[in-house]
Amino acid sequence: MILVTGFGPYREPMNASGELVASLAASLPDELSAIADRLAFEVVVCDDSSRQSEHESLEARLLDLLRHYRPAACIHTGQAPPYNKITIEKIATNTFMREVIDPGRPAAYWSDLPASDELRELLEESEIPAGYSFYGGQHLCNHILYSSLHFSQVQGFGHRAGFVHIPLLPRQILKEHRESPFMPLSMSREALSLVIRHVHRYLP
């Protein structure tokens, strides 16, 4: 099982990652149909009333999903308004909103999605702009990858995890982010489908 997550609206009406994941759940591309029974798509919504509530609700929701699906791999996604390409995060740090998530946990975890070093070339072969990043930010995107990797190693879930940042959707540019780059949903769907197929290929 591969668990694919995106975020619901977060302090604005729409989140590109949640729209992308919901789109794939509603209409799976033909290229993923052969592994449809091994895929789960979930949109994660957090309580953003405070930093503590965001932290607690994110980890509670993630743990619920891990217990329910027991995935072999997690592909988490989030939106990145400044980015003009699909961006694969390589590392997650023990920080959230410029504070330590938990001082008893390691400072960082490396993403361990299988064969992730091949993803940029794979995407660019399909004329999809792509790149790597070594900083996932200070918000929920970094947090969910860090917590996913931590729960895998410390709580025995044993899954592999990675994170993909996607650009905004054109609809978001019309309202909240007038000067930001964007990527059409059709291209984001193709990109994430390629990532999912690639990861599945390397799982036991």
* Beta partners for residue 91, in sequence order: 110
Expressed as residue numbers, the domain containing 88 is 2-201
* Cα-based distances in Å from 76 to 32, 125, 161, 174, 177: 17, 22, 8, 26, 23
Q: Chain-wide mean pLDDT for the chain?
A: 96
- Tokens representing 181 are 């780059």
- Tokens representing 126 are 């399909």
How far apart CA 80 and CA 180 sit, in angstroms, is 10
| pLDDT score at 34 | 96
C-alpha 126: how far from chain center: 20
How far apart CA 137 and CA 60 sit, in angstroms, is 21
| pLDDT score at 82 | 93
Residue-wise pLDDT tens digits, 49-84: 899 999 999 999 999 999 999 999 999 999 999 999
DSSP state of 158: -
Q: pTM value?
A: 0.97
When divided into structural domains, the chain yields a total of 1
Contact in structure between 14 and 51 (CB atoms under 8 Å): no
| pLDDT score at 166 | 98
- CATH classification at residue 174: 3.40.630.20
| pLDDT score at 139 | 95
